[in-house]
A and B are shown apart, each in its own frame.
Chain A
Amino acid sequence: MSQEEIIVNNLKEKFPNIADSIKIQRPRRIFLEVNQAEFREVFDYCVKKIGFPHLCTITGLDKIEKFELIYHLAQDNGNILNIRTSVPKEKPVLKTIINYYAGAEIYERELMDLFGMKVEGLPEGNRYPLPDDWPKDQFPLRKDWDPKSLEK
């Protein structure tokens, strides 16, 4: 059995309700999807029990009716586990993962600035990457954002 299959079988056994979403896309690339309510439990198990010492980055996506997040976790043998979750657009709130990866802070601030998500548990700090005088209600990576709205 390949390393990827071992991880996938382990996860399917532990979390049967998300088993259908766990897929090996190609060697060293595993994708899974979990709802926000169960995200913490799955994430904790992946980081602590299976072991992913490195966070590549966090990708945010605007899916019109909701925001999607993909946490890209890596092992030193090249396996990347992509954990997909989502938050509703009317209440785009998620909890920080800096207690797992200290380096995640900057990636979470990016989600706040570019998508307008709220990340609970982040310490006080500078915003990233937009300027301090950027309008509060403008989130450039939202699909309905129009650069012209800045010219008003």
Chain B
Amino acid sequence: MHDSHKFKIPIGPQHPALKEPESFSVALKGEKIMGVDIRLGYNHRGIEKACEERTFLQDVYLVERVCGICSHSHSTCFVQAVEEIAGLEIPARAKYLRTLIAELERVHSHLLWLGVAGHEIGFDTLLMYTWRDREIVMDILAQFTGNRVNYGLNTIGGVRRDIDASQVKDALKAVDTLEERTKYYIEIATSEVTIIKRLSGVGVLSYEDAIRLDAVGPTARASGVKRDVRKNDPYAAYADVSFDIITDDHSDVYGRTVVRLKELLESFKIIRQVLHNLPAGPIVIKAPRKIPAGEAISRYEAPRGEDVHFVKSNGGEKPERAKIRAPTLANVQAVKHMLKDRFLADMPIVIAAIDPCFSCTDRAIEISRPGEKRKEVITWPALHDYSIGWHREHGIDFSALNKKLKKGFKTS
């Protein structure tokens, strides 16, 4: 192919919702991706530095705002480290309530992802249905915590809100509905040829590469890596509940879809056990204002994978250091590998498949031709349309499936 067909396309970088928004600069030869250059940090807000200037308790609320989707993940991970340093053994009921909100958060996050994935491949009916279903779990979260996101449930020494019997009843009912829906999505995803063909062999990450590149969460588990902090390094009430680590050996976007869908069923299992066996008693114990000198590393299985917080106290009211490593930072490095030698048309779904919340905002894509001053700008939606059109020309069309899904639900 002639050299003038080599393009460099910068994608990104602004993304207001994450600690790690990304910018991908893509080198293209024809339709094929020759290499991807990733630039991170555009929205680095200096939260670690800000933590050093605030009290431990203020930091609980600050770290909750690292991510809008897995807010409970960060605050739990942080308070666990602080509680370990202070030697606080929190009440059993608080551990169960933390687990409950953690799994509800995973359900809302995975359903959100499923919708985004559907949208990226042109299966928009799936987006509409999963986001409608997601409202069921958002209502339960709002009922339990008072908020749809940034729940403010955690405090050092336990949790701030209890739940009563009627709320338990509502949640159990919601879980039944969600489970029925999820099973239907699993049936669609595992039997519909259009989906299987569209997602199989896309964004491949082998088992060896997943380990080598330190991938985490569903991204790693879909490559057969049996790692889940909830099981390997149990925290909150996870040692008391039974559930399975979901893995898959497809090692592609299809595998990542299957893993997340099946993880939803495991979450429902955990939520039911927690609601049925909720221990009686207090939800919080008194924590000191000054945290004794010490350090701790805490891990948490966020919806996107392993979240890591390291906290060091020098005996004062403020931490000497609070280090946060969010799961997307670990996974974004694997994306580079997944995209190499793939088609530009697969880029939206491959990026979306690590669940970086990358796709929820529009962004401009700049196409520059080497040796030419002129630059073309296309938007993320245009790339999305290009991707769907490209695959339609190559025989993958979701129109029929969109109609079929609508019929699959009983009208209520």
Contact = CB atoms under 8 A, between A and B. Distances in A.
Contacts of B44: 129-130
Contact of A72 (B20, B297, B312): B297
A128 B40 contact: yes
B226 A76 contact: yes
A4 B38 CA distance: 38
B310 A70 contact: yes
Given A76-B232, A102-B213, A126-B38, A54 B333 contact: no
B330 interface: yes
A57 B49 contact: no
B227 A82 contact: no
B2 interface: no
A107 B40 CA distance: 12
A87 B71 CA distance: 35
Contacts of B308: 56-57, 72
Looking at chain B, what size class is its interface with the partner chain? 35 or more
A122 B211 CA distance: 20
Most buried by A among B41, B232, B330: B41
Interface in B95-129: none
Contacts of B330: 103
B321 interface: yes
Majority SS of interface residues in chain B? mixed
Contacts of B20: 129
Most buried by B among A56, A80, A101, A128: A56
Interface string B309-341: 010100000001101010001101100000000
Nearest to B19: A129
B214 A128 contact: no
Interface string A100-138: 011111110000011000000000001111110000000
Contacts of B215: 103
Given A28-B233, A140-B49, A141-B48, A57 B40 contact: no
Contacts of A114: 48
B306 interface: yes
Nearest to B325: A57
A105 B325 CA distance: 14
Interface in B224-244: 226-227, 229, 232-234
Contacts of A60: 323
B297 A101 contact: no
Interface in B192-233: 211-215, 226-227, 229, 232-233
Given A26-B84, A56-B299, A61 B212 contact: no
Contact of A126 (B37, B234, B297, B332): B37
Contact of A76 (B227, B296, B325): B227
A129 B49 CA distance: 13
Contact of B323 (A59, A78, A80): A59
Nearest to A60: B323
A72 B329 CA distance: 15
Nearest to B229: A78
A70 B325 CA distance: 13
A57 B333 CA distance: 13
B46 interface: yes
A12 interface: no
B41 A131 contact: yes
B181 interface: no
B272 interface: no
B44 to A, nearest CB: 4
B391 interface: no
Contacts of B6: none
B140 to A, nearest CB: 30
B214 A101 contact: yes
Given A55-B214, A76-B227, A129-B40, 9 more contacts: A26-B84, A59-B321, A60-B323, A76-B226, A78-B232, A78-B234, A80-B297, A113-B41, A141-B48
Interface of B: 20, 37-42, 44, 46, 48-49, 84, 211-215, 226-227, 229, 232-234, 296-297, 299, 306, 308, 310, 312, 320-321, 323, 325, 329-330, 332-333
16 contacts: A59-B321, A61-B312, A61-B320, A77-B232, A78-B232, A78-B234, A102-B213, A102-B214, A103-B214, A106-B40, A107-B325, A126-B40, A128-B40, A130-B41, A131-B41, A131-B42
**Nearest 8 A/B pairs, CB to CB:** A129-B41, A103-B214, A78-B233, A57-B325, A129-B44, A78-B232, A59-B323, A126-B39
